[in-house]
Amino acid sequence: MSFIEFFKQKLVINWRYYKSIYSPFGESELRELRKHGVVIRKGIAQDWMNRVLNELKGLEGPMQLGSQNIYEVREKAPSSKRFFEDKSITQLVEAYLDGGRSYRKRFSKRIALVSGLEGIQLYHFDDWKPRVKVFLYLSEVTSKNAPMIYLKGSHRSKFAWWRMQKEYQYFRYFRIDDDYNYLTPEAKDCGCFLLPDITDLKARHGWEEVECVGPMGTVIVFDTTGLHRGQPFNTQDPNATRLLLENSFK
């Protein structure tokens, strides 16, 4: 668990990806993802999305970290395959992660019905290794129903000391089981930044916040090594919800 061991693994894991995010070439969404770490593809509601909603009715699991997740969503809601198998998304992510490393983790097939408590509201990265998450909104997401906020460009400083300290902590302490329960007391705070650190980093790097809002059908693609956070619901409406499909790649 030494720093040298962490650094060796970081070099190996990052070198192809590093080349990818600094490449100036590519299609516009790919270029945007490399530059900002996040792409918001504004969408429109389509019939098959309503079919997904119908297929998912009544399937929500228990509340966990502020989310109700439905795993193996593709089997339970076959209409959702259209999202999970969408070539325009998978090709974008494969190009970004430099090919052959696109991989769906078990929880990629999930739907989150987030209400009330939102999981992580401190700025954080999800992992020290390159990962991409893709959301498809199945409800309109506005400032009121807990949109994610992403710091544009914060995925790029791979070898900055502020990042490596946090990543090394993550490397040492972050452990979860197959059901996403934390296995160490430190795990839940791994990768998290307090507000004074974020204020300084934003001032130093000029990062802008982007609020990931959009109508039903909007797709959000983001690099989870970039700093992002959830927000609480900003509404008195007891039925407020944020509904999405999520896919993860590594």
Supply 188's token pair.
């839940």
CB of 126 to Fe ion, least distance (A): 4
Q: Which residue is nearest to Fe ion (CB)?
A: 126
H or E segment at 90? helix 87-96
| CB of 29 or CB of 126, closer to Fe ion | 126
C-alpha distances (whole Å) from 86 to each of 75, 76, 247 are: 16, 18, 11
CB of 148 to Fe ion, least distance (A): 8
| CB of 91 or CB of 231, closer to Fe ion | 231
CB of 245 to Fe ion, least distance (A): 16
87-96 helix and 28-36 helix, angle to the nearest 10 degrees: 50
C-alpha distances (whole Å) from 97 to each of 12, 17, 146, 157 are: 14, 6, 28, 16
CB of 193 to Fe ion, least distance (A): 12
Point out which residues bind Fe ion (CB under 5 A).
126
Task: Give the C-alpha separation, 201 to 89, whole Å.
Answer: 31
Nearest by Cα to 130 from 170, 107, 98: 98
| CB of 32 or CB of 126, closer to Fe ion | 126
| CB of 77 or CB of 166, closer to Fe ion | 166
Neighbouring CB atoms inside 10 A of 100's CB total 8
| CB of 60 or CB of 127, closer to Fe ion | 127
CB of 156 to Fe ion, least distance (A): 17
Task: Give the C-alpha separation, 147 to 229, whole Å.
Answer: 9
| CB of 77 or CB of 115, closer to Fe ion | 115
Count of residues in the chain: 250
CB of 124 to Fe ion, least distance (A): 6
Which pairing describes strands 228-229 and 63-64: parallel, antiparallel, or unpaired? unpaired
